[in-house]
Amino acid sequence: MMFSQNPACRNLQKLGVTCLVILKVMLSPLLVKAASPAKDPAPEAVNQALGIQLFSPENLWDESDQSVAKRLGLPRESLTSVESGFRTYQQNFILGVKSYSLFLQGKAGKVAAVAILFANKGDVATYATTQDQQGIIRAAAITKQTKEYHIYISPQMLEAYRSAIRHDQEEIRHQMEGLFGESKPATLGANVVMQEQGECWDWKGVSFFLAAPRNEYIVLRLLPSSSFEKSDADREAFQKSKELLPGRVKHFPNGDVVITDIPMVNQGPKGYCVPATFERVLRYYGLQADMNLLANGGQTAAGGGTWLSDICNASYLVVAHAGGKVTRGMSGVRIADVAPYIDKGEPVIWQLSSSKEFNSRANQRTKDRQHVADWNEWKEKVLEPARAQSSQLAESFDYHVGLIIGYNRSTGELAISDSWGPAYEKRWITQEEATAVSKGETSVIGW
């Protein structure tokens, strides 16, 4: 067994996090010629092999995203003016092996992509034995005592998930070959740091791409075969999103200024706040993103914990290729620091300590805020006492990455957003509380 300090914590403490963790997770054109299947099964036969009711007689890409999500039993995770997301972390058996998540993305009301995640390093805790569970409890006790985050991962747990990746890859390949015949080698992604190498089957306009990066994860991605012909889709999408930004900044009568239309991503049971946050930002800019691929590029540890410097090494060229830039070196999170970016529609990526007390304050404050009739009274009776007690939050060691998406100059509040599902899409705190919990610098992707 081993106790190890969370890599994200170590990096925040040693490096101060001076750069934005932005990665290209573009599901770029597959660098392979279309593979014609040796077999042409009916949709019913494909559904039977998959073990889920994914296909109907209608072309998948012509179907309503809501209809397919309902057929699959997927709850809505996100809805913006340009895309939708439906995701479940309910474990299921697909193609004869255990799946850990199923995600469907829609665009313009139609299905745009489907991703099925199987064995992966983020869910390593599911392989814990009874003895491992005791180690996990001891790690939690050490964390509480030392004020430094520790995670327990045993050699048995590591070997178990890695073995599952190897086994499941062979089983899925066997099932796919039984359906469609032999596959063709394929590469997904133009950036070498973020590429997935695997194999592909094409059937009725659907490309099934199977990838299993070593000791990382195994995923089956379903994408439109026609989309692989576009080689500059990332730049086009990124530039198009620039036109949408002014309309995404909403001004309210009480003085709230908030960025809307940011996709929600629920990181689920994984310690993937960093990759999930960046998936949200990239999808906000029209790019296809996936937290598991981000975790791979960022060398996220099993169970969670990302070395931010590893992701920063790849971020500049990726963003520049799409036509954007990264603004680094923002040391403050007061309204004066973040408002210039919020006003342009650019969410601020923020490193913080997200303690139980901090979240309790944010949750209750946000709930009470919905019923405010007198904003001067709100400032005097609620916010002023909170400001006076903000220093109490500074001792937290629960390192986290989220977004700052809005502000109110009159009340001195900031709107924040976290990758924990729709309930955490927008919460409010004072700028003094934000300053107390900040760890390192903030960063922005834009133009």
The confidence score (pLDDT) of residue 308 equals 57
Task: Extract long-range pairs of 206-215: CB within 8 Å, 24+ residues apart.
Answer: 206/60, 206/61, 207/30, 207/34, 208/176, 208/180, 209/30, 210/169, 210/172, 210/173, 210/176, 210/183, 212/165, 212/166, 212/169, 213/296, 215/121, 215/162, 215/165
Q: b/e map of 18-35 (b: 16 or more CB within 10 Å)?
A: ebbbbbbbbbbbbebeeb
The confidence score (pLDDT) of residue 227 equals 76
What are the phi and psi torsion angles at 251 (to 5°)? -110, 130
The confidence score (pLDDT) of residue 326 equals 79
Torsion of the alpha carbons at 10, 12, 18 and 24, rounded to the nearest 10: 80
Q: CA-to-CA distance for 274 and 402, rounded, in angstroms?
A: 8
The confidence score (pLDDT) of residue 359 equals 94
pLDDT per position in the chain (447 positions), as tens? 333 334 444 443 433 433 433 343 344 444 444 445 568 999 999 999 999 999 999 999 999 999 999 999 999 999 999 999 999 999 999 999 999 999 999 999 999 999 999 999 988 888 889 888 888 788 778 766 665 666 788 899 899 999 999 999 999 999 999 999 999 999 887 666 677 899 999 999 999 999 999 999 999 999 999 876 555 777 888 899 999 999 999 999 999 999 999 999 999 888 888 889 988 998 999 887 888 888 777 677 676 666 555 655 556 666 777 888 878 777 789 999 999 999 999 999 998 988 889 999 999 999 999 999 999 999 999 999 999 999 888 776 678 889 999 999 999 999 999 999 999 999 999 999 999 999 877 889 888
The confidence score (pLDDT) of residue 251 equals 98
Spans of all domains in the chain? 16-22+236-446, 43-121+155-229
- Report the run of H or E that residue 378 belongs to, with start and end: helix 375-378
CATH architecture of 16-22+236-446: Alpha-Beta Complex (3.90)
